[in-house]
A = this chain, B = another copy of it.
Amino acid sequence: MTKLPKMAGANTILHVAKASGLSPATISRVLNNHPYVKEATRKRVMDTIEKMSYHRNNIASGLRSNKSHTIGLIVPRISMTFQSEVITTIQNHLYKHGYNLMICQSNDSLQMEREMVKTLHSTRVDAVIAACTLNTTDFSHFDLLMNSGVPVIFYDRVPTSKTNATLIKGDDTRGGYLATSHLIEIGCKKIAHISGPLSCNLYQDRLAGFKKAMQQANLKINDNWMFYQELTFENARIAVKKMLNSNDRPDAIVADNDTSAIAALECAKEVGLKVPHDLKIVGYSNDSRSAITSPSITTIEQFPALMGQKIVEALMVLLGKSTANSEMLVEPTIVPVQLIRRLSA
């Protein structure tokens, strides 16, 4: 007996090697499905592994191979319907490919986001997927990763300037256009817009879509009905109250998320306006709540599962596990959107 046994429950490939009368290298080959292993040997090793209930130490493996089989994910918050569905899809797909997911919530804090990039770098994740905060306009903290050869995929909230990262985003321009032109088609002429802060590409694009639809219909944009703010329930209430209490009221509201749309609906009820008769409302994201209000809210579906799937596809290309769709890496991937017509507009 050599220096083998130390503590129960800490079997290593060395133990397996001894027990099966083979070398550690062969055990490793079996574990990694290396081609040059005789079938009989493989079987013998597998049996021993089973018998000893050996489990490979991924930490040691990672140190040697420089692969952690872990993907880092940075997201503002997981509780948003859209985000949690994207993440769910990513996680399920990645798991099938043998990767783990390390999820970090920035809580929409740029400082947290910066720290998390460092942490994920130290953890030696194989790649990072990130939806940035509303305030992230400088993306240079991600250079740390890319300079070390760690691929970065941005989705949803992405940089607008040039980058070496892979970009996957929703068709927000079209989303803004669809929401607005729908209202125009059903006769609205005085359309308000509750936008998010324009520091973020999402809201820039949705605004562009809004403007395009308005211009095409020769409708003028009333600055008193344009709001650029963090899209919270309270902020929306304040904005909508102000509009509804004025002499000149809009006949429709395009909101950049469903929380704001729900707030608008609530305000309308309080003021005694009937939706959609007196005021029409369109939201954004198809939040699970938007389907169950009375009236239910017309909104923009973003297909989070599809986006998650695209993200994993790109990831597999970046990790060299796939060569399909390698053009994803140079051109931004645009995920389609769709108007979900309900009763509010």
Contact = CB atoms under 8 A, between A and B. Distances in A.
B59 A88 contact: no
Interface stretch (A114-122, A194-202, A203-211, A235-243): A114-122
A252 B10 CA distance: 56
Output the residue of A53, A59, A164, A292 with the most chain B CB within 10 A: A59
Nearest to A87: B78
B68 A91 contact: no
A149 interface: yes
A55 interface: yes
A58 interface: yes
Contacts of A293: 292-294
A9 B78 contact: no
A85 interface: yes
A102 B102 contact: yes
A79 to B, nearest CB: 4
Interface string A125-159: 00000000000000000001011110000000000
A147 B55 CA distance: 13
Interface in A1-22: 1, 3-4, 6-7, 9-10
Contacts of A4: 146-147, 164
A57 interface: yes
A57 B17 CA distance: 29
A167 B118 CA distance: 33
A276 B105 CA distance: 40
A292 B259 CA distance: 11
A56 B121 CA distance: 9
27 contacts: A1-B162, A3-B164, A4-B147, A4-B164, A7-B149, A9-B148, A10-B148, A57-B63, A57-B122, A57-B124, A58-B122, A59-B63, A70-B123, A78-B84, A79-B81, A79-B85, A79-B88, A91-B104, A100-B102, A101-B102, A101-B103, A101-B104, A102-B102, A262-B292, A266-B292, A288-B288, A289-B289
Given A4-B164, A53-B144, A78-B78, 4 more contacts: A7-B147, A59-B68, A78-B88, A92-B107
